[in-house]
Amino acid sequence: MNIFSGIAYNIRGLKLGISTPRLLMLGLIRFAVVLLVTIISAGIILSYYQEIMNLLWARPESRWVVWLWYLLSWLLTLLLIGSAAIVSYLIAQVLFAVIIMDTMSRITEAMSSGEVIESEGTSYLGQLVFLLKQEIPRAVVPILLLLVLTFIGWLTPVGPILTIAASAVAVLFLAWDNTDLVPARRLRPFKERFAFFMRTLPFHLGFGLLFLIPVFNILSLAFAPVGATLYFIENQSPPKT
C-alpha cells in the first residue's frame, strides 16, 4: 500500500459516508460536537483575554508604539483561538468522538463484510473503555508532540523544516487513529498494532494528506473512520473460512 492508495481509500470513505444516511448523520454529529466544544472553550479562554494581554504588555500611551501593541494583541487572539481548537479536539476526541468513530466503523464493517467481528469474552462496554484508553497514544501524545515541534520551530532557524515534519507527524497519527479502530476493537495488543502502523507509513501518509486541505479537511476528518475501516477489512482482516 502506497501514498496513492491512502488517498484513494480516504476519498472512498468520504463518498460512502455521504451516500449512507446513518454514516452521514454520525459524521455530521461528530463535526457538530467538535465545533460546539471549540466554541465553548474559545469563549472561556477569550473571556480572560484582556487579563492575559495585560500580563504580557499593558497598552502603551505612545501613539508610535501602540500599533505594535495592537499587532501583538491580534497575534495573541489567533494563538488563543488556535489553542482552544486543539484543546477542544482533544476533549471531544477522548470523551465523545471515539464513540461516534467506533459506531461508524462498526456500520462500515457490517456493510463491507456482512458482520462485525467482536473480541470473544469482552462486552461492548469493555471494548469501549479499551478504545478510550487508546486515544492517549493515538491522538493526545502526537498532538502534544506537534505543539512542541511547532514551538521549537518558532525559536530556531529550522522552523520551515520542523513545520513540514510536524505536519507529517500529525497526519500520520491522525490517519492511524482511524485505521486502528478495528484492531483495537478486537483487542489486539498495542505492540502489534503499532508495528502494523510502522509497516504502512506510506499508506497512512497518503490517507492523512487530505487532512491538510483547508475546508475539505473538515469533511475528510469527519468521515475518515469509514475509509480507514474499508482499508483494514479489505487488506488486513484474515479471510473467512
Q: What is the pLDDT of residues 176-219, one digit of tens each?
A: 988 988 888 888 888 888 899 999 999 999 998 888 776 677 77
Whether residue 240 lies inside any domain: the answer is no
Q: How confident is the model at residue 109 (pLDDT cuts 50, 70, 90)?
A: very high
Cell of 54: 495585560
pTM: 0.71
The cell for 28 is 455530521
- pLDDT at site 241: 43
> 160-179: per-residue pLDDT in tens?
676 677 778 878 888 898 89
For residue 34, being part of any structural domain is answered with yes
pLDDT of residue 230 exceeding 80: yes
Structure confidence at residue 206 (pLDDT): 93
Instruction: Examine residue 241 and state whether it is found in any structural domain, yes or no.
Output: no
Q: Is the residue at 238 inside a domain? A: no
Among the ranges given (6-10, 42-46, 69-73, 93-97), the one the predictor scored with the smallest mean pLDDT: 93-97
Q: Is residue 153 situated within a structural domain?
A: yes
**Is residue 154, in this structure, part of any structural domain at all?**
yes
Residue 237 lies in a domain: no
Whether 157 is in a domain gets the answer yes
**Percent of the chain whose pLDDT exceeds 90:** 22
* pLDDT of 107 strictly over 50: yes
Domain that holds residue 64: 3-232
The total domain count for the chain is 1
Report the percent of the chain where pLDDT is more than 70: 72
Residue 150 has pLDDT above 70, yes or no: no
